[in-house]
Amino acid sequence: MRASILFCAPLLARLGRAQTVLPGGCRIGARPIDLHLAGLVQMGACPQLEGERLLLTAPAGLHGADITLRFPSVGTTETLLLAAALAQGETTLRYPRFTTPQSKCLLQTPLFPQQLPRKKHPQRNKSFTRNKAAASVGG
């Protein structure tokens, strides 16, 4: 399951240790986790492969890092963002010149809903307010 490597990042940051089985096959084709592991290593993780199991430890905890990916990877971006959210310090993710639309979208998405831009649609707002007012008085 591909999500196993994603969930290792926050577990590793919080507990200092995470263990999972290696992700299986994918209909798309080979989907290695080397970029995920390389980024986590830069943040202080120590991966060990024991048969089909992956053991990640971070004896000193995870710390911020300046990470440059060899090529765009949405999954790696998600893993490293999850790790960075709980790591000490600041993490910077850098990408090759051409990134995928999904990576750009993920990187430009605000972390907090308050930061989301508000689009004002006067007609929708009036209609919504009118309907809400009518519903609140039973008419």
Task: Give the C-alpha separation, 50 to 32, whole Å.
Answer: 17
Task: Give the C-alpha separation, 93 to 40, whole Å.
Answer: 12
* Alpha helices, H only, 1-136: 3-15, 34-42, 74-86, 101-108, 122-136
46 is catalytic: no
Among 8, 26, 46, 105, the active-site one is: 26
Task: Give the C-alpha separation, 7 to 105, whole Å.
Answer: 21
Distances (CA, A) of 118 to 102, 115, 121: 22, 9, 9
Task: Give the C-alpha separation, 10 to 20, whole Å.
Answer: 13
Question: Catalytic residues, which ones?
Answer: 26
